[in-house]
Amino acid sequence: MLSCTSRRPFTKLYSVIASVAMSVAAALPESPQTYTLLKKTKISPDSCLLRFALPEHRRYLGSDPMLPTCIKVRLPAGTDVYNTGEPTGENAEKSYSPISHPSNEDYFDLLVKSYPRCAGGGLGAYLCSLQVNGACSSSDVPSPENVASEIIASVKKPRIMHGNPSVLGRWKHVGLVAGGTGIAPLYQIAKILLEDTTTKTTDIRLLFINRHHKDILMKDELDRLAEDHPGRFQVTYSLTSPENNHMEAGRGTVEMAQRALPPPSDGDGSTMILICGKDGFVETWAGSVGRAPPKPDGSKGPKIQGPLLGLLKDAGYLSSEVFKY
């Protein structure tokens, strides 16, 4: 029989192993962790570009530096987002897709829009109120009294697009349809495709729809992509409140899709159209996205693509050629 003294090394070894296991678990991107704000840039009257540092033990935001990323940000309970004396009652969460390439080391960038006050909202305003090291804000967005300089967030599992999370080496022609802040995940996907020389994608065509010219987020960056990749990246802008004769007008038509996007390919696997925006926008273009029943813990069930409807169906695309991001 082992004596108490002889058992001590094993007890100590077990403690070390348990400690290492806990540290490894904490380092996983999927676990809630603290991300510190490094830089904040106001890019429109109600939108900000935010750069966050990764924790010291992490090199990339996600587990795979070539897969699109998405994070779930937590709005802590008790936060007085709008400085009204009415703090939030419970933790709230919202998902954001970074615009930075997933292979970026040590940091990632979020494009965030601060929507007007509404029931169950506030996360965008909360993020836009963040200040680097608590610096004073020059933004028009109200800031809580105790301004934060970091967030709690977790990286979501890679999104499966028609059976595979990867965007590299899959399609020859890629069309992107974005409405407002729906540009964020599509911009990241465009960067992944354009910066990888081994991909078989020969052309990427983006249709970006907004209300006013001032609402076009990241226009300079998009125009630069088109300049840097002539013939391979093309962007078409459309405004629902026309004010520029050099842009398309309206929320979308079959003819607009035919002008701005790669044509259908009869389901041969060479073409993919990715669409992202508010629910009504996606529904107009491709039909609504459904949800599976709630999970046992009460959280929302996974999204379900649902049948392809709307403008893209009328333009001749098949469901295998469209993904509602």
Share of the chain above pLDDT 70, in %: 83
Please check whether residue 253 is in contact with residue 284, taking contact to mean a CB–CB distance below 8 angstroms. no
Range 106-116 average pLDDT? 91
Range 1-12 average pLDDT? 49
**Per-residue tokens: 195:** 């910066």
pLDDT of 11 > 50? The answer is no
Distance CA 44, CA 166 (A): 32
Packing angle of the helix pair 183-195, 219-228 (nearest 10 deg): 20
Please check whether residue 60 is in contact with residue 67, taking contact to mean a CB–CB distance below 8 angstroms. no
At a CB cut-off of 8 Å and minimum separation 6, what does 165 contact?
A: 67, 68, 158, 159
pLDDT-derived band at 18 (thresholds 50, 70, 90) equals: very low
Q: Name the least confident of 153-157, 202-206, 290-294.
A: 290-294
pLDDT of 78 > 80? The answer is no
Please check whether residue 68 is in contact with residue 192, taking contact to mean a CB–CB distance below 8 angstroms. yes
What are 226-277's pLDDT values in tens digits? 999 998 999 999 999 977 778 999 999 999 999 999 999 999 999 999 999 9
pLDDT-derived band at 294 (thresholds 50, 70, 90) equals: confident
pLDDT-derived band at 21 (thresholds 50, 70, 90) equals: very low
pLDDT at 45 (0 to 100): 83
Range 302-306 average pLDDT? 90
Range 180-207 average pLDDT? 93
Q: Which domains does the chain have, with CATH numbers?
A: 33-155 (2.40.30.10), 173-294+301-324 (3.40.50.80)
pLDDT of 66 > 80? The answer is yes
Sequence letter at residue 231: G
Q: Percent helix, strand, coil in the chain (nearest 5)?
A: 25, 25, 50
pLDDT of 134 > 70? The answer is no
